[in-house]
Structure 1
């Protein structure tokens, strides 16, 4: 009896493998698996699914596409709501649970975009958990921000990728001679900006808070990702968007937790944003960095088995942002000399 069960399982595996690698219908599943692996610390394993050369081609293709998605000029403006609506009191922050095929997450709406500041760590040599930034600065809510150098997925979270701008000042320039980068941020009026910009353009536009990240997924009210196949795999996600009335939308999707939430692709995130009225939206750092904090409590379920990660940036919401104390922790440091893998100070 046992031998028959083993034989049946072997035949099932062989049939599944044959379908995955030989049947045309299995190709899309293989690429979905590969794209999902690419978003994890086990990116190298994708070569066993689609081959090493195809993996390199896939990553290059995505990067090129992401750059192109940031090229179109954003022309959206913030429209003031009617007087009657403006007089009606709205809470500064509203949180709504969202679910879909295989994922669970949250949409945080910040009704006044001028109340958001970019938080950074408090100690040299170490990133900081978003929950710690929220508590330390007196913020009422926070979401993880931009990416960072993370050698072997054990980095200290202190070396951002690209630019960091907080309170209208350039805190960190890791462009290394590049003339432009894709940013996600806000100008002095609370208008969201996302896409390819040079440092000079950011200065002219009066950008006040920003990080480098990609891709932009909505511009001028239209989604840039055509379908799920272009959604860059299944993973925990964080994204930022803005409605025409100025309200900011932060989408946080949990993932890598079977039985609760596997994760979402960028097409899913784009559709959530569009459903909630976003006219512009962009991806932020996701994966095990994805976290949403409100009133000093973690709202979502971060995918890391160690809990929250130590990060270089977070978008923080304040009742009184003018009182926020966010000094430049990177002042005087040479980005090229920052060791991203050095053990965090205790």
Structure 2
């Protein structure tokens, strides 16, 4: 006869069954973890293999096809215009980098040698014309493939003066120059010594001429330099000149920079391949009627504006009727400012607007503006370009 005690499983067997159930679950869990780990590892391995194949195909395309080589050199040229120029050697090699920089320098020198013969029409307006007179400054937006920017038109070139810093030892933001002097507008000007891209903006490159006077001279007496500026009548002068030649031309406002991109109505850059990469740009030009054009292109900002080549800037100038035009300092220096110091564009510098030695400023009454020579008595060799 079966008793109640015999009909129930013993405590020992129940516990053994429980332990057996737990250990089974543990074994299944362990197997699942191993399976997931193996699946993840296999996925990573497949991803790595696919990336290696794609990288190999990309390398073959970049180095062994015409279109790939064009992209590779465009990337290198773009890096050459930045503070990371040395990175370009990883794309084209150190020897090719050195050769390309030397080639651009020689090309820019050659582009500045043809003598400019353009004339400007600056007739005295009649009363009727005066009533229909254009505003002194006009700003329009421009855009193209991969870039956004602005064109500032100054309809009277004699209203432009070169601004310089107010305090010795450090450059000044263009917005500060505009606000301080009461200018209607301002655009960054010439280049400056910038050791390790940490310069203080106070030591210009080449020459600075303001109000017909030599404010700064960093070249030897017999040397020539590529300048961008205006004479006493408001005619734009750009190209390679000696100091003596500039004096004979009646130079009024000028900075050193290059290259000149339009001369006698002809573009000097033949194609995008010679456009010196993609970057923020500033350039100055003049139309036959005497009006001055400043092209300001933003760059290095994905999703907004990557930047423009010098060829792009040249075409914008030609489309707007420029008969002469030249490049100004670009990159993180590029800035367009209006009355009161308001910045119109989007400068690319991660540290904000840069401190600069020069800017082209527009005034309603430039003859009333006092712009002292902040470099008076200083020798170029005595200026520490990196001292904060």
TM-score (norm 2): 0.86
Corresponding residue number in structure 2 for 1:329: 374
- Partner of residue 169, structure 1: 213
User: Is contact 2:202–2:385 with CA below 8 Å preserved after alignment?
Assistant: yes
> Would you say 1:288 and 2:332 are equivalent positions?
yes
Q: Secondary structure of the equivalent of 2:304?
A: coil
Aligned to 2:274: 230
Moved more, 268-277 or 174-183: 174-183
Q: Offset of 1:86 from its aligned partner?
A: 5.6
Instruction: State whether residues 70 and 273 of structure 2, in contact with CA within 8 Å, keep that contact through their aligned partners in structure 1.
Output: yes
- Which consecutive aligned stretches of 4+ in structure 1 deviate over 3 angstroms post-superposition? 80-87
Structure with max Cα Rg: 2
Aligned to 1:303: 348
> SS state of the match for residue 293, structure 1?
strand
Give, in whole Å, the separation in 1 of the partners of 2:133 and 2:206: 38
- Give CA-to-partner distance per residue, 1:172-203, whole Å, 9 cap, x none: 00014552101000000000000011111111
Q: Which runs of 5 or more structure 1 residues have no equivalent in the other structure?
A: none
SS at match of 1:305: coil
SS in 2 for 1:13: helix
Q: CA deviation at 1:15?
A: 1.1
Q: Aligned to 2:66, which of 24, 37, 43? A: 24
2:288 maps to 1:275? no
Greater alpha carbon shift after TM alignment, 176-185 vs 327-336 = 176-185
- Structure 2 distance, partners of 1:11, 1:177, is 59
1:50 maps to which residue?
92
Q: CA deviation at 1:3?
A: 3.1
Q: Distance in 1 between matches of 2:267 and 2:129?
A: 28
Report how many aligned residue pairs link the two structures. 343
Cα distance in 1 for residues equivalent to 2:77 and 2:232: 37
Deviations 1:129-148 (A, max 9, x none): 00000011110100000000
Preserved CA contact (<8 Å) 2:278 2:307: yes
- 2: CA distance between counterparts of 1:252 and 1:14? 39
Listed as ranges, the matches of 1:69-148 within 5 Å are: 69-80=111-122, 87-148=131-192
The answer for the alignment partner of 1:252 in structure 2 is 296
**Distance in structure 2 (CA, Å) of the matches to 1:85 and 1:42:** 52
Q: CA RMSD in A?
A: 1.2
More helix by share: 2
For 2:86 and 2:160, locate their aligned partners in 1 and report how far apart those are by CA, in whole Å.
37
Distance 2:302 2:87 in 1: 20
